[in-house]
Structure formats: C-alpha cells, structure tokens
Amino acid sequence: MAECEVCGTNIRGESRLVRIDGAPMKVCSKCARLGTEIQQPGSSRPQSSGVMRRSPGVSSAPKKRVPRDILDFMDGEIVDDFSERIRDARREKGWSQKDLALRLKEKEGLIKKIEKGMIPEENVRKKIEHMLEISLIDSFKEKVQSGKGSKIVTTLGDVMNFKKEGQR
C-alpha cells in the first residue's frame, strides 16, 4: 500500500499522479484536486480530478521578476528633506494633500506616504517637481558647482594602496 505524498495517509485503491507546483506526485483522491492530473503511462486517459487543465502553449512556470532599486533609475540622489520640501511647497500654494493628488492624478494615500518619508518613484517625483516647482534631486554636478564636493573622502581603494606602499 502506498502513502500519499501530500497528506501522508495510506492510499486506498489506485493512486493518482498529479503535478503540484511543477512536481509530479502520487497522491490520494482527496489531494488530487490540489494539482493538475498527469496521464499515467499505460493509461489511455488521464484520471479526472475536476481540476481545469491549462491550454496548450501556456507556461505554468512563474515569470521572473527583475529586482529593481528605485535609486537605480534616478538622475541623482534624492535630497534628505524631500518630504518637508513637498509639504512646504504644497502648503505654500494653499493645497491640501487631496488637491495635490488630484492635480497629479495620483492617489491621496500615495501623497500622504511620500510626505511621511516614502521615496517616490521617478515618474511621480518628476510630476511633483513640475507641479510644485521644486527640485528634489541633489545631483553630483550640482554638488561640484556649489562647492559641496570639495570634501575629501577616503575610499577602500585608498586604504588598499596605502597598505601596499607600506609592504614595500
């Protein structure tokens, strides 16, 4: 007597071969509804489990999601006080969060989250900058032009070179 590979009970009668999350498994009749039944070798028809079958050519493999970081798509670094800048500019125009959301064609909840510190996606950031006539990006070029880039920072490469020179 075989055991069901899903629930572990002894299978009475004939086991069923079912594909669950891409893995073929021998299961009992109760667990057969959890997957798509596979035609067993030597059988002229697949056993019916009441489960709808996929159309031919439709892949059951999940699509890969490409991880992305919002900062990868930006023109520079977003300023630390972006939420305050947005809130101040919105209040200066006399708009509520709902007013700004309607003008941007975004949800009011998104505006609330951004004003609480959530970094907006680039397209939303650009719309906010345009609508409120502010800048939320602190690019490297602006730092160099304003003189903020004159600070010397030690990098890991500098430390490596220093250690190599000391070994000679």
Same domain, 33 and 81: no
Question: How many helices and strands (H and E) does the chain possess?
Answer: 6, 5
Q: Which of 17-21, 85-89, 139-143, 155-159 has the highest mean pLDDT?
A: 85-89
Q: Where are the alpha helices (DSSP H) in the chain?
A: 82-92, 97-104, 108-115, 122-132, 140-146, 156-167
Tens digits of residue pLDDT in 124-165: 999 999 999 999 887 654 444 455 555 667 777 777 766 666
Tens digits of residue pLDDT in 104-122: 999 999 999 999 999 998 8
Tens digits of residue pLDDT in 28-67: 888 888 888 887 655 554 444 444 444 455 555 555 554 5
Query: Do residues 89 and 96 touch, judged by C-beta distance below 8 A?
Result: no
Greatest extent of the chain over all pairs of C-alpha atoms, in Å: 82
Question: Is pTM beyond 0.85 here?
Answer: no
Same domain, 141 and 89: yes
Is residue 33 a part of any domain in this protein? Answer: yes
Q: DSSP letter string over 17-32?
A: EEEETTEEEEE-TTGG
Same domain, 36 and 97: no
Same domain, 86 and 146: yes
Same domain, 79 and 140: yes
Same domain, 75 and 119: yes
* Domain count for the chain: 2
Check residue 153 and give its pLDDT: 72
Is residue 96 a part of any domain in this protein? Answer: yes
Domain interval for residue 29: 1-41
Average pLDDT, the chain: 76
Measured distance CA(42)–CA(89) in Å, rounded? 74
Contacts of 54 (CB under 8 A, 6+ apart): 36, 60
